[in-house]
Structure 1
Amino acid sequence: MKPKLKPLHWDKVRASSDRAMVWDQIKSSSFQLNEEMIETLFMVNNSNLNVKDHNGRRQSLPLLNQENRVLDPKKSQNIAILLRALNVTIEEVCEALLEGNSDTLGTELLESLSKMAPTKEEEYKLKDFKDESPFKLGPAEKFLKELLDVPFAFKRVDAMLYIASFDSEVEYLRRSFETLEVNLYWLINFDV
């Protein structure tokens, strides 16, 4: 019985006789298709992947199963994207958190770090993860694991974010009260 494969969506390419295509250059004997490898790569349930090597023996392909991931794949991907965009090292972040220096990190980075906070369950899994495990952590998980070595890392992030945004929040409230005073003045004095 053939395994169920993931759907492959094709776009039609119109062949025009005046344009050369790569397919025109392929000789019938030069192209070999490894059907077992295609089945392995596109199988719907790929938890027990085995591939035959050149001698016909089966060998396992190491895969990172969903059970072996600490973070949700979407969350892990979002954190990895944020890390690339922020362009900071874990050492810089940890040092600033230990020193409590919100100026070094800046409001934008602190807001991003606040969004990265792991759940309690993810935090326990990250702290319990052993480096000698056959599965490697992704960049986002490595970053969070090292960040969790800082005592109360995400509480520090929240406190530093509060400090960094305090002046702008006070200024916003001051302007809001001024607007309210002006509106109340007009309501009281001009009976609008």
Structure 2
Amino acid sequence: MKSIILTSNVILASMVLLSCESGADKAQSQCESMYQIIINENDKHISYLSENIKIKIDENRNNQNVIIYNSLTNDYLDYLSEIEAAIIKGGTAIFFDEYEYSSVGKEFEVKAKLYKSEIEKLSSSVNFKKRLNLLLNTNSIQIPDDPMILAENNENGRTVVGKVYAFYLDYYFRGFSKSQSLAFINNKKRAILELENEFLLNFCK
């Protein structure tokens, strides 16, 4: 018996508690407002983190690892900003071509894996790498047998025979609203900068 990979909207049945799409307009409006609040607060936090990172970068212009880390991060964050703009225009459908990944979806996974692998080369901390992997891995997600239980991040990339899995983008983006997806990416951008800030604080003493 093989593991099963889901690529269609059927996975949304196990995520009803996350979607906030109960059919009630008022509840949906409240959810959309909350996502915007999260985005606004994250943007402030991102701004403050960026200020501190800039100071550290300016103080360590001769440190090659610092410059490489910051360059990689800036490029990846610019890419995520492009994805945000594309979602605003076309919704999460940009990631898919019917039941398969679109070129945008495939590129999204490639960019995440490449950024993660390059940053891992710059740190010797096992714990740091664990958190980086938790944030950036694009492994398929195991769908719990109980629909009331939320799935966990498959950080180890393991699959269990007989269990049902959803591809990363299907699980986190397919069928969700623009605001939900934007909040998800926005939160990822904040976490990326938090890791860079930590790296700089520990590396630049």
Do both proteins adopt the same fold according to a TM-score greater than 0.5, normalized to the shorter chain?
Answer: no
- The structure with higher relative contact order (CA 8 Å, sep 6+) is 2
Higher helix fraction (1 or 2):
2
Which protein has the larger Cα radius of gyration, Structure 1 or Structure 2? Answer: 1
Per the normalisation by structure 1, the TM-score is: 0.23
